Amino acid sequence: MRIATWNVNSVTARLPRLLAWLENSGTDVLCIQETKCAAEQFPADELRELGYESAVNANGRWNGVALVSRVGLDDVVKGLPGDPGYDGAEEPRAISATCGGARVWSVYVPNGREPDHAHYAYKLLWFEALKAAIAGDAQGSRPFAVLGDYNVAPADEDVWDISLFEGATHVTPAERAALAALRETGLSDIVPRPLKYDVPFTYWDYRQLGFPKNRGMRIDLVYGNAAFQKAVTDAYVDREERKGKGASDHAPVVVDLDI
């Protein structure tokens, strides 16, 4: 089974590339972030024509997550149990389902904006809720993974120049501690250092020639439990999909499993 995660930065804007990528990549399950559309606007019909079922948690022009699968889509749960909410409302940032023998989550962790911003405090609370929600599955015998845009670079090597991130989100000790706490439930970083590229970034800003100059970050992660990790046969960042006109600012992260 081939499973992937991809922050598409608007499923509407990226639809032709999304459909082509699914058709050409052989992906069985795709975790999508930043759909940036209402649930009824999600292209379920177009995906169904390619053989994919869809489950969507989205409510408008911001955020939004989805799971699409051609190997089953069962026991769908929309949202994060215990979600702390932001500014009085829950944001559509999580969805989970059982797909082809594995339980998977697609998550879009809050950005945090600035360390002194209320959104940063929300980000840390959201991580706590995620940890509580997945702890049982992380310890289970069934393959289980949380895939998505975590908006945290796990180590200094996961940003193109750590000296430029002083005082910024994505690299603060508290955010990295939240990631570590998530791993301590029984998860491992499945794609820490793919061999195809010396620095396997997954995100490059559109501005200032970020991608051509490889000024990127590794913030799109696959965290899997022991059963998931044991089944992995290959993993890589599809950097080619970041190239060309109309690309997302994130690249897909792909994992092959023997399940």
Active-site annotation holder among 28, 52, 83, 108: 108
Model-level pTM? 0.96
pLDDT of 256: 96
| 108 labelled catalytic | yes
Q: Is the pLDDT of residue 149 over 50?
A: yes
Average pLDDT of span 69-83:
97
> Tell me: the pLDDT tens digits for 181-226?
999 999 999 986 544 556 589 999 999 889 999 999 999 999 999 9
> Tell me: the pLDDT tens digits for 34-68?
999 999 999 999 999 999 999 999 998 889 999 99
CATH homologous superfamily for 2-257? Endonuclease/exonuclease/phosphatase (3.60.10.10)
| 170 labelled catalytic | no
Please say whether the beta carbons of 199 and 217 come within 8 A. no
Q: Is the pLDDT of residue 14 over 90?
A: yes
Instruction: Tell me how crowded residue 240 is: count the other CB atoms within 10 A of its CB.
Output: 11
pLDDT of 193: 58
Active-site annotation holder among 83, 122, 250, 256: 250
Identify any residues that bridge with 104 across adjacent strands, giving them in sequence order: 97, 145
pLDDT of 145: 98
Q: Is the pLDDT of residue 81 over 80?
A: yes
Average pLDDT of span 71-92:
96
Share of the chain above pLDDT 90, in %: 92
Q: Which residue has the tokens 């080619």?
A: 240
Active-site annotation holder among 137, 149, 220, 256: 149
Annotated binding residues:
7, 34, 149, 151, 249-250
Annotated binding residues for Mg(2+):
7, 34, 149, 151, 249-250
Domain ranges of the chain: 2-257
pLDDT of 197: 55
Provide the mean pLDDT of the chain. Answer: 95
pLDDT of 195: 47
